[in-house]
Amino acid sequence: MCSDLHQDPVMALELYCARFRIETMFDMLKNVMGVFRYRFWTKGLPRHSRKPRKNKYLNPPMGIDQKRKVRRCFDAYERFVMIGSIALGLLQLISLKYQNSVWREFQGFLRTKSRSLPSERTVKFVIANLLIVDLFSSAPGAIIRKIQKYRFKKKMLKPGVLPEKLVPDPEMALPKLE
């Protein structure tokens, strides 16, 4: 488990167990939240070749202006991943605090419910459905009309016409998490 013979064995086991929690978190960030699917790019980023050539004349790879652009690009990467990590933490918090409400609103199919605590994927599914219902039940401002237009353009539906499953009942209040 550990190549350091002076390492406390209990500490080595704790670190080994923490490794799996970290790997699980990265799996959730990658597959549930999609935080590593960023598409920020700048022409200032240097190209990387599988067969790199030697720099005979020792030319600097980029100028100061290009370095600023690359730095801003890397900052965008970091912010995107950080916001995704915060969102994952919020999903976990909602799962812990509102587990009964999440299961009540969940409309998916699970062959077996393995535990009482909903997963991040389940919470994301429930919140996405609640946000869509909330989006269509609010007054149509300019931004909401653009979102609806974009969403229906992709799905080939008419703007303002809801699929039957999303039509809110006017007598029913919007579902609220307890």
* Domain layout of the chain by residue ranges: 35-45+58-166
CA distance 115 to 119: 9
State the burial class of residue 48 (Cβ atoms within 10 Å of its Cβ: 0-12, 13-18, 19+).
exposed
Predicted local confidence at residue 144, as pLDDT: 72
Is the model's pLDDT at 166 over the cut of 90? no
Predicted local confidence at residue 93, as pLDDT: 94
Using DSSP, state whether 155 is helix, strand or coil.
helix
Q: How many CB atoms lie within 10 A of CB 61?
A: 11
Query: What digits encode the pLDDT tens for the residues 103-127?
Result: 989 988 878 777 889 989 999 999 9
Which among 59, 61, 58 is positioned nearest to 69, based on CA atoms? 61
Read off the pTM.
0.64
What integer best gives the mean pLDDT of the chain?
Answer: 78
Which among 28, 178, 37 is positioned nearest to 92, based on CA atoms? 28
Query: What digits encode the pLDDT tens for the residues 91-102?
Result: 999 999 999 999
Is the model's pLDDT at 51 over the cut of 60? yes
Query: What digits encode the pLDDT tens for the residues 144-156?
Result: 777 767 765 555 4
- DSSP for 26-86? HHHIIIII-TT------TTSPP--SSPPP-TT---SS-HHHHHHHHHHHHHHHHHHHHHHH
Using DSSP, state whether 143 is helix, strand or coil.
helix
Predicted local confidence at residue 59, as pLDDT: 63
